[in-house]
Structure 1
């Protein structure tokens, strides 16, 4: 399938069959926060660009507006976003404990870059590099299916302790 002709229906079908994709060790980088301190609720209000185009930059959270979930601290840009997260963290937490969705589809845990994101069927997916985003977008439903099948066997492994390549964090805001 050409990555520019992915249909939303195909993505929705793949995700309808997918299970919950987190519960292991959350990826936390040097910031000490999940999603590198970016507001995971804010992704759902950002405009999402078509496949093949970069997404808007993630919204940094604030160090004084946080919540604990899945063994990690999440930062938020507003108290309303924190409250929405606390009401339904499963809805907002990145899939695969914040690890790269394409990496999980290939059987491993590598960091997810909070600026390389896509929401598919109401779920937040992160990837590690722009090149990897291209591979993932060639077949999003197929890659999600592979990741879901791999996750059960790799989920118990420790979270990645690698640094996100080509990424400089600006979050959370003090």
Structure 2
């Protein structure tokens, strides 16, 4: 029975891991999610300034950014669990480059790299609709 419970816990943990794009439990490759909005650029956060939300840990460049995040984390977390918005519009999860980002209607979208971001922006609104639908399908399973 203990082995079964342990296996179920591992399975659940791996399921959660897949919800947010992360490395070693850290989202956005350690970049500050709030800085995208306040500084309009990718800024590396600090291990000393971190907060956990859902299944991931986020790092922050300043204590003020950490406070803002803790007050309303959903405002700052990237769309599609931090996976590439272009990839999600095509129905798959892809890694990101933190510098390849766009903020649209107060939401943070990340892309695989700067070239992919250019492609994503050509049909941005349609791609967001498709990515939203694909993300919702993946999470109904």
Q: Taking structure 1 as the reference length, what is the TM-score of the superposition?
A: 0.67
Of the three residues 104, 107, 116, the one matched with 2:88 is 104
Compare relative contact order (CA 8 Å, sep 6+) and give the higher one, 1 or 2. Answer: 1
Q: Select the structure of larger CA radius of gyration.
A: 2
Paired position in structure 2 for 1:85 = 69
Aligned counterparts of 1:84 and 1:33: Cα–Cα separation in 2: 18
Contact (CA 8 Å) 1:39, 1:74: kept in 2 or not?
yes
5+ residue gaps, structure 1: 1-23, 48-55, 158-174
Secondary structure of 2:20 counterpart: coil
Deviation at 1:156, TM superposition (A): 5.9
Match of 1:130?
114
- Could you list the per-position Cα deviations for residues 50-95 of structure 1 after superposition, in whole angstroms to 9, with x for gaps in the alignment? xxxxxx4x11101110000121110001111011001000000000
Instruction: Give 5+ residue unaligned stretches, structure 2.
Output: 1-17
What is the aligned length?
124
Greater fraction helix: 2
Distance 2:37 2:113 in 1: 21
With structure 2 as the length reference, what TM-score do the two structures score? 0.82
Aligned pair in 2 of structure 1 residues 98, 156: CA closer, same or farther (>3 Å)? farther
Structure 1 contact 25–70 (Cα < 8 Å) conserved = no
For residues 44 and 142 of structure 1, the distance between their equivalents in structure 2, rounded to whole angstroms, comes to 23
SS at structure 1 position matched to 2:47: strand
